[in-house]
Amino acid sequence: MTQPTDIRRARGLRPRLLDLFSCAGGAAMGYHRAGFAVDGVDIASRPNYPFAYHHGDAPERLAALIDSGEIERYAFVHASPPCQAKCALTVGTNQSRGWGGRHEDLVAPTRELLEKTGLPYIIEQPNGRADIRRDLTLCGEMFGLGVIRHRNFELGGWTIEQPAHVAHRGRVRGWRHGRYFDGPYVAAYGNGGGKPSIPELQAAMGITWTDVREELTEAIPPAYTEFIGRAHLAAMAPVEVAA
């Protein structure tokens, strides 16, 4: 059966990508630059999201798209479920302060739904999160960014070649245990002392369309998903649709 995605490609239209847990669109911008038309879904209001946007629960939205058959409009799904339940930053420092563990684990139910779509997909999580496969790990230095920001990706239904890790040029600058360390990278997380200014964060991540600190510190640098999106589009077979 000819899928709507095949028709879009044959007509030279951008294939559609569903961006679950989209926040303000760090990942989305990279996919857009790679050649996708992107639709975001986030439970919080995200007026800075630069593309089509659905305000609501991501697993609920995905389940509804599967039930209605509308999922066939999409070629690829990206999911960045919130990591706070298990990621190292939370379990270490923050759990002792009572912050960790309050978030529902959304990775497993999201993966279950993604498998039902029959589409290629990717799930993203920071380092320290044990329960996704590390099919791909990206680092800001691979793209010459001002953040280290290691991120792991589990791929469903497709594969990608892991690029070689690039040696870091120095330290993450900021205060640690009363001492200031200089370095080429900023700490793109939290709001504590010595953290970068908004313009520093924007420049380091390559994000210009939001100045909300929380949105910047949650984002994947667009360079990561532009790399992933281009690799995915290159891996897809050329499409021919009968007249």
Task: Report the alpha-carbon distance of residue 197 to residue 30 in Å, rounded.
Answer: 23
| Min separation Cβ 80 and ligand SAM, Å | 3
Kindly report the number of other CB atoms within 10 A of residue 16's CB atom: 19
Torsion sign across C-alpha atoms 72, 81, 231, 132: negative
Task: Report the alpha-carbon distance of residue 131 to residue 189 in Å, rounded.
Answer: 22
Structure tokens belonging to residue 151: 């991120």
CB 187 within 8 Å of CB 217:
no
| Min separation Cβ 124 and ligand SAM, Å | 7
| Min separation Cβ 181 and ligand SAM, Å | 26
Nearer to ligand SAM, 27 or 75 (CB): 27
How far are the Cα atoms of 77, 107, 121, 140 from residue 172, in angstroms, in the given order?
A: 32, 29, 32, 12
Nearer to ligand SAM, 119 or 122 (CB): 122
* CA trace torsion 180, 184, 190, 191 (10° rounding): 60
| Min separation Cβ 50 and ligand SAM, Å | 11
| Min separation Cβ 143 and ligand SAM, Å | 14
Nearer to ligand SAM, 17 or 220 (CB): 220
Nearer to ligand SAM, 82 or 157 (CB): 82
Task: Report the alpha-carbon distance of residue 100 to residue 72 in Å, rounded.
Answer: 37
The identity of residue 23, as a single letter, is C
Nearer to ligand SAM, 8 or 107 (CB): 107
Name the site residues for ligand SAM (rule: CB under 6 A). Answer: 21-27, 41-44, 57-58, 80, 82, 106, 218-220
| Min separation Cβ 119 and ligand SAM, Å | 18
Nearer to ligand SAM, 8 or 23 (CB): 23
